[in-house]
Structure 1
Amino acid sequence: MPDLEHWSLSAMWWHVYPLGATGAPIRDADASAPVVHRLPRLEAWLDHVVELGLNGIALGPVFASSTHGYDTTDHFRIDPRLGDDDDFDRLVAAAHERGIRVLLDGVFNHVGREHPAFQAALADRDSHEAALFALGDDGDVEVFEGHDALVALDHGSDATVELVTRVMTHWLDRGADGWRLDAAYSVPAAFWARVLPAVRERRPDAWILGEVIHGEYAELVEASTMDAVTQYELWQGIWHSIAEGNLFELQHAIGRHNALLAAFTPYTFLGNHDVTRIATAVGSGFVPHALALLCTVAGTPAIYAGDEYGAEGVKEERVGGDDAIRPELPETPPSRDELSHAARATLDLHRELLAIRRRNAWLTRAQTDVVDVENGTIVLRTATADASIVTALNLTDDAVRLPAADATTVLAGDGGLESGEIALPARGWAILSR
């Protein structure tokens, strides 16, 4: 776990999927096509990131691949659909000028079938490249979760350790601040424990996040030496409890979340490039409730690009099933006059609640107690010895009065304090402080 002075403990991320956001072709990509400089389009969004109150951009895949970015064909080359090294350098420099950190997406569990190393291994089993793969006698090879185009690397091989270490340090040396390790749950922890110390020896300030969905998060962090993992349990607890009107599920998720804080600071989110948009999952009327939770519970929070405008979209398990949640962004952030009333309200809400989070940086590591809970209402108190934030939610169609947990000031929301209680309207919410 990073020390208490590490920059990651004050990081809040804007997560963007560059291929989709910049309008790059996905399934009909032509590897021989000339470079198209789309990556600079993201520079136009950096001031928007700052105005949201965020200080990091978590980039989806930017390296050469055959289709969606997760079938890598060259870890050392910027995807020509996005641009080149100069485009990357300018984006990183522009981000750093604004105090924005840059996180890269490292796909190190597998490569694309068209990767030159895999093609060389198929052609010659005695080649250096063959050491990267566990080839069967018939030339068969393990693939990722049944996807034939995604060829698994051999994580017991010294050659794979050397490759991944070299890739990670190469891009950190070029200015990246850290890595998200894609599908980290599919890679043995012992592999990361060999790679990451070598990376930190060269770049000790780097922050390493693992994509982990299920399992014992704290044990994996310790065994792998990663700094943090994605908190899918809390994501599930937030959206599902709201969508199903069962806040006892959220209570359970909060308890699990608290237990992790002794080991690491989880990466928390309401949306990403792999899941249905939060506005679709819970309904636009309950986005404030979900965002209030994200901004007042411990963790390193991230906003998925477009969610700040209330974007909707359903993740589907089919070819093209990610398109709705990975759309193209406008070339520049829309002006307020160009936004619908609902989009303006959602944008303002994000700015307001992220500002509360930024002003109360202690929330990143603080424990949350469930003060009161019913199926449709909950009161949470996140606190230290010196400060507390109270979050109250009402999912029901009736006005309610809930315990104020010593709160004295309403910071945000549509609730009020009355005779030592929080008064919430139907489907109301509030964030309060002591």
Structure 2
Amino acid sequence: MSDHPAPSASTEPDWVAHAIWWQVFPLGFTGAERESAPLTHRLPHVESWLDYLIDLGCNGLALGPVFASSTHGYDTVDHLAVDPRLGDDADLDHLLATAREKGVRILLDGVFNHIGRDHPWAVEAVREGPDSTAGQRIRWSGDRPESFEGHDILVALNHDNGAVQDHVVDVMNHWLARGADGWRLDAAYAVDPSFWAAVLPRVRAEHPDAWFVGEMIHGDYATYVDRSGLDSVTQYELWKATWSALRDGNFFELAHALGRHDALLPTFVPATFVGNHDVTRVATTLGDDRDVDIATALLFFVPGTPTVYYGDEQGFRGTKEERVGGDDEIRPPFPASPDELSPLGLPRYRVHQAMISLRRRFPWLRTTSADVETLTNTALTLRAAHDGTTLRLALNLGDDAVTRPGGEVLAAADGVGDTLPPHTWAIVQN
């Protein structure tokens, strides 16, 4: 059992130690059109949910794409302009300022691996050819622009090109100066880490308090962080092991992933989640709300910088499908106010509040190993200790009650006493 403080060479700003994010996909959240449309001021709708975010216990708003694009937000056409479907510069400035007044950090989604085919660079490159100045800013497959992962509307950037590096530096600095606190770097796994190693020091020179987290789905996370200079990356391996173990009743899978997860801590603190804008909702995957609450307890007990995807705290369901419009179910609009949410989501909301409150009470959980103490297919106890305080998270996926660890119960599912009934959880201190 050990703490793993951030390594001495870490560039992670101090404020991130207490950051808990609520992630919103703005185009879906606000009910924006599928494709580019005239100016509509929808960002105030996002701003109106800041108090809800705070009431939940979060203090960070992680925004999906907000910059001008043709369709879903990841086919950017102008990194320095707000998507007209969401509003204009004044709307984003007001959101950033209001968030700052309320003590809420803002994370922007930086789509720098690729651009939309309607981006001026892509249009000019096609017109002038691969050997032109514009043509050297993108990658080519023969005499055609290289698409990203087979998506024709996404044109891969040439990250070896100095103009591309300069542009990304300029964009990052522009919006950090306007009040953003950091960047999620979309599809970082597809970018050679040397690109970020060239870009980030130039940004940090002007904004040393900014946080940079890369989207990593696979690969060697620790090596990528070390070579790129990123502060963190998304922990997809743990995400997969969490829902898979809970769905299949196989805590051995989760225990293995937790061992690998803890091994990352000497290098960086991973960005953890059980849901996001790209995956089927955890409530849909698991089916049983009791198991959804177990996933929530795990998210806030294991080390990491946690993110809650909007609607997960209400038990929203939705399936991601590989088709046009296949993300609609997982990126739904939110109502005008929390009063319009269904009361059926309140139990999930209260579990999130309880677990975030516990994380606030014991902030050292963010960097402390969650060691496996007892393990069967359907029962698991994790132990975390720091400075004389020991916490245990006990989980039961089975159909029979199991004995829970002794100690003071700090948070638990309904019905927990001296035992854990089927599909319940508890956190105890002793």
Per-residue CA deviation, residues 249-272 of structure 1 (Å, 9 max, x unaligned), is 110011011000000010000100
How has the CA–CA distance of structure 1 residues 57 and 294 changed in structure 2, closer, same or farther, with 3 Å as cutoff? same
Aligned residues: 420
Gap regions ≥5 residues in structure 2: 1-5
User: What is residue 360 of structure 2 aligned with on the other side?
Assistant: 358
Tell me the distance in 2 between the aligned counterparts of 1:113 and 1:91: 29
Partner SS for 2:32:
coil
Partner SS for 1:264:
coil
The TM-score normalised by the length of structure 2 is: 0.94
Tell me the distance in 1 between the aligned counterparts of 2:257 and 2:282: 17
Tell me the distance in 2 between the aligned counterparts of 1:325 and 1:49: 19
Tell me the distance in 1 between the aligned counterparts of 2:228 and 2:191: 10
Partner residue of 2:294 out of 283, 289, 297: 289
Partner residue of 1:425 out of 401, 411, 421: 421
Partner residue of 1:114 out of 118, 128, 141: 118
User: What is residue 399 of structure 2 aligned with on the other side?
Assistant: 397
Q: Partner letter of residue 203 of structure 2?
A: V
Q: Partner letter of residue 322 of structure 1?
A: D
User: What is residue 301 of structure 1 aligned with on the other side?
Assistant: 306
How has the CA–CA distance of structure 1 residues 410 and 54 changed in structure 2, closer, same or farther, with 3 Å as cutoff? closer
Per-residue CA deviation, residues 265-307 of structure 1 (Å, 9 max, x unaligned), is 1000010000011111112221110001011110000100011
Tell me the distance in 1 between the aligned counterparts of 2:182 and 2:11: 16
Aligned positions of 1:185-264 closer than 5 A: 185-264=189-268
User: What is residue 411 of structure 1 aligned with on the other side?
Assistant: 411
Shift of 1:400: 1.1
Per-residue CA deviation, residues 147-200 of structure 1 (Å, 9 max, x unaligned), is 111000001111111111111111101110000000000000011100011110
Judge which range, 307-316 or 120-129, deviates more. Answer: 120-129
Shift of 1:344: 1.3
Q: Partner letter of residue 339 of structure 1?
A: S
User: What is residue 46 of structure 1 aligned with on the other side?
Assistant: 50
Query: For the Cα contact (< 8 Å) 2:13–2:209, is it kept in 1?
Result: no
Query: For the Cα contact (< 8 Å) 2:126–2:145, is it kept in 1?
Result: no
Shift of 1:333: 1.8
How has the CA–CA distance of structure 1 residues 232 and 386 changed in structure 2, closer, same or farther, with 3 Å as cutoff? same
How has the CA–CA distance of structure 1 residues 122 and 11 changed in structure 2, closer, same or farther, with 3 Å as cutoff? same
Aligned positions of 1:69-80 closer than 5 A: 69-80=73-84
Tell me the distance in 2 between the aligned counterparts of 1:377 and 1:258: 20
The TM-score normalised by the length of structure 1 is: 0.94
Partner SS for 2:48:
helix
Query: For the Cα contact (< 8 Å) 2:354–2:411, is it kept in 1?
Result: no
Tell me the distance in 2 between the aligned counterparts of 1:71 and 1:346: 34
Aligned positions of 1:167-182 closer than 5 A: 167-182=171-186
User: What is residue 339 of structure 1 aligned with on the other side?
Assistant: 342
Tell me the distance in 2 between the aligned counterparts of 1:348 and 1:210: 30
User: What is residue 385 of structure 1 aligned with on the other side?
Assistant: 387
Tell me the distance in 1 between the aligned counterparts of 2:227 and 2:167: 21
How has the CA–CA distance of structure 1 residues 239 and 181 changed in structure 2, closer, same or farther, with 3 Å as cutoff? same
Tell me the distance in 1 between the aligned counterparts of 2:386 and 2:12: 15
Paired-residue identity, % = 52
Shift of 1:107: 0.4
Shift of 1:6: 0.8
How has the CA–CA distance of structure 1 residues 285 and 413 changed in structure 2, closer, same or farther, with 3 Å as cutoff? closer
Tell me the distance in 1 between the aligned counterparts of 2:57 and 2:254: 26
| Residue 16 in structure 1 maps to residue 24 in structure 2 | yes
Per-residue CA deviation, residues 343-362 of structure 1 (Å, 9 max, x unaligned), is 11111111111111111111
How has the CA–CA distance of structure 1 residues 136 and 369 changed in structure 2, closer, same or farther, with 3 Å as cutoff? closer
Q: Alignment RMSD, CA only?
A: 1.6
Partner SS for 1:197:
helix
Tell me the distance in 1 between the aligned counterparts of 2:328 and 2:354: 30
Query: For the Cα contact (< 8 Å) 1:410–1:417, is it kept in 2?
Result: no
Q: Partner letter of residue 315 of structure 1?
A: K
Tell me the distance in 1 between the aligned counterparts of 2:124 and 2:173: 25
Shift of 1:432: 1.2
User: What is residue 310 of structure 1 aligned with on the other side?
Assistant: 315
